Amino acid sequence: MDNFIVSARKYRPATFETVVGQQHITNTLKNAIKNNQLAQAFLFCGPRGVGKTTCARILAKTINCTNLQPNGEACGECPSCKAFENGNSFNVHELDAASNNSVDDIRSLIEQVRIPPQAARYKVYIIDEVHMLSQAAFNAFLKTLEEPPHYAIFILATTEKHKILPTILSRCQIFDFNRIRVDDMAAHLASIAGKENISYEPDGLHIIAQKADGGLRDALSMFDQIVSFSGGKVTYRSVIDNLNILDYDYYFNITDSLLKEDTAKALLFFDEILSRGFDGAHFIAGLCEHFRNLLVSKDQSTLKLLEVSEGIKNKYLQQSQTGSVSFLLSAMNIANQCDISYKLSKNQRLQVELALLKMCHLPSAFNMATSPLAATPATDGSLKKKPDTPAPAVTAPVQESKIINETGVLSDTPLTYNKTAPQPLNNQAAQITAAAPVTEKLKIFIPKPSLGLSTPSLTDVSKTEEELLEEEDPYLQGDDREDFTMDSFLKHWSDFAARVKSEGKKNLVTIFIANAPRMLKPYEFEIVVGNKVQENLFRDERPQLHNYLRSHLKNYSIEVNARVDEQEVVRKPYTAIEKFQYLAARNPQLVDLRNRFNLDFD
């Protein structure tokens, strides 16, 4: 019976060409060898299992090869290559710094450096996990690393570059190894399965590659485990059962339940996941990733960010058409908040169930925000109702009398108008133009003043209605009517309140933070203020608020109004007169005292 060799050792790369996913490093090293421009010290850094030590050994073998190939690879047939492959080369030394990290170990290495190579050009020293060296060992190594003999080359490998002294880093040529891509890893596993005559499913190999998190050694270890578990057949089901991974189908089914607002089915799916032994944090993190994949599936340009097999990718593309971007963004936000607060909660299951219930009600919230009450822009710039709920116009009798126009001035021009259902206040110029087009200048007269009161003079009474509206309308105009959630509205409301505070308007800040606005109907909100003074302050700031909310939320139908509610407000005496009146109401003798001594309020 032959001894079993794990795939990570059996299929360890022996040439630069067979290294997986690190072409930017292997090409640089091959060019340096061909051009005879080798550095005296190399530092290979990166995550575990990405090929640092493997590349160091390939480099050590290649630079001593006596029959170098034209492509910069070692021949594998010369005595130097054979000695290296057999493990008895006298010119390549490996040191594990995790167990040999003292000053004495480095001094012993320095003594070996003085001995020239035997029947070779270079003497190579590979120091693995170099960050484990002590401070004194690093200092002892500095001089030799800076000025080694011409035949000595040092290759340092580490997973934690930040722990190495800057003086060491400055003496090395640094190569950063990347995490291996899922597609490259799955292709490498498929080639090994073909060599070993193992049947496999591409979805199963992709799951192994995703679980490895960029480390090929971890992927090969899991591959061997699945082969032993399934009897030589690597299937999608055997992978998720053996590695304890949540099936994609759970996330697809839960998302369908959320879009259909089926709260019972969503909670039952979550209960089934818990009964299989999965943690709630694991589930909510996977759900965030699922929503992210659905979001990137909506655009062809971002499909490359989807690191799944073709079969799973088609499922994502199909489900991404059923969910809107607003739903996915809001659901991701809810799931992310649940993930943050999960560990701090005493009832962790309730946290996840509450998040699922919130997601289930997102479609209803979006439907209410896009209800037929909201007006939609027409092609001619005017506003019209949604086609599914037409509002019949109610025609009023024609009137010919002096009316107050939009500028607040009496006009003797008779107007004929139709009274229709109320529309949002935005795009007023377009509404007026559509309802009563003005083709000539308005004739405006000012009534004679009474009781000797003076009236302001008008410098120009011949302006058209459009010019007057352009001068007096402080609101931005636009045709955008994008939907938004109440959370995003409140966020921009808070941002505007912060901006008001930074401008030093303390009275206004109180109005914005005292009571949160509430929605009366789609795109129309109301805020309660305590008195008329606050109402006037809010009215003065209202154009800036509208312009801010409309531009940031991309919806020019937003309206925010203030309502005075003095019933719940207890008015306190502020001025001296008010204080005296307050005290006199409790003690009428104060009035006699003031009149007798002719006292003033101050």
405: closest CA among 461, 362, 350?
461
- In angstroms, what CA-CA distances link 300 with 107, 305, 311, 320, 326? 59, 10, 17, 12, 18
- Integer Cα distance of 468 and 463 in angstroms: 7
The answer to whether residue 571 scores a pLDDT higher than 50 is: yes
pLDDT tens track for 480-489 = 788 888 888 8
Q: What is the pLDDT of residue 448?
A: 43
Tell me which amino acid residue 507 is.
Answer: N
Which tokens go with 308? Answer: 């799944």
Q: Which fold has domain 486-564?
A: GMP Synthetase; Chain A, domain 3 (3.30.300)
Average pLDDT (178-186) is 88
Side chain identity at residue 559, one-letter code: E
pTM over 0.75: no
Is the pLDDT at 403 greater than 70, yes or no? no
pLDDT tens digits along 515-528: 788 888 888 888 88
Q: What is the 3-state secondary structure (H, E, C) of 379-425?
A: CCCCEECCCCCCCCCECCCCCCCCEECCCCCEECCCCCCCECCCCCC
CA quadruple 532, 538, 541, 542: dihedral sign: negative
pLDDT > 50? residue 96: yes
Percent of the chain with pLDDT over 70: 79
**Overall average pLDDT of the 360-377 stretch:** 61
Q: Which residues contact 444 (CB under 8 A, 6 or more apart)?
A: 409, 410, 411, 458, 461
Average pLDDT over residues 543-549: 85
| CATH number among 3.90.340.10, 3.30.750.24, 3.40.50.300, 3.30.420.300, domain 7-176 | 3.40.50.300
pLDDT the model gives residue 453: 40
Mean pLDDT score across all residues of the chain: 77
Residue 566: what pLDDT?
55
Give the residue, 115 or 1, on which the prediction is more confident: 115
What is the band of 367 on the pLDDT scale with cuts at 50, 70, 90? Answer: low
Q: Alpha-carbon distance 20 to 185, whole Å? A: 7
Q: How far apart are CA 553 and CA 324, in angstroms?
A: 17
Cβ-contact 32, 40 below 8 angstroms: no
Residue with structure tokens 């925010």?
560
Question: With contact defined as beta carbons under 8 Å apart, do 385 and 372 qualify?
Answer: yes
Determine which of 42-51, 72-81, 164-173 has the lowest per-residue pLDDT on average.
72-81
User: Cα 543–545–549 angle (5° rounding)?
Assistant: 120
Topology agreement, domain 182-242 and domain 486-564: no
pLDDT value at 457 more than 70: no
CATH of domain 182-242: 1.10.8.60
Spatial separation of the C-alpha atoms in residues 314 and 211, rounded to whole Å: 21
| Residue ranges of domains in the chain | 7-176, 182-242, 248-367, 384-473, 486-564
Interval 413-429 mean pLDDT = 41
Q: In what order do the strands lie in the sheet with 92-96?
A: 92-96, 123-128, 152-158, 41-45, 173-176
Which residue is listed with tokens 């995550």? 47
DSSP 8-state secondary structure symbol assigned to residue 176: E
The band of 43, judged by pLDDT with boundaries at 50, 70 and 90, is: very high
CATH number for the region 248-367 comes to: 1.20.272.10
Distance between start and end Cα atoms, the chain: 110
pLDDT tens digits, one per residue of 136-158: 888 888 888 888 888 899 999 99
Instruction: Look at residue 2 in the predicted model and tell me its pLDDT.
Output: 59
Residue closest to 524 by CA, chosen among 489, 566, 491, 495: 489
> What is the mean pLDDT of the segment spanning 432-456?
40
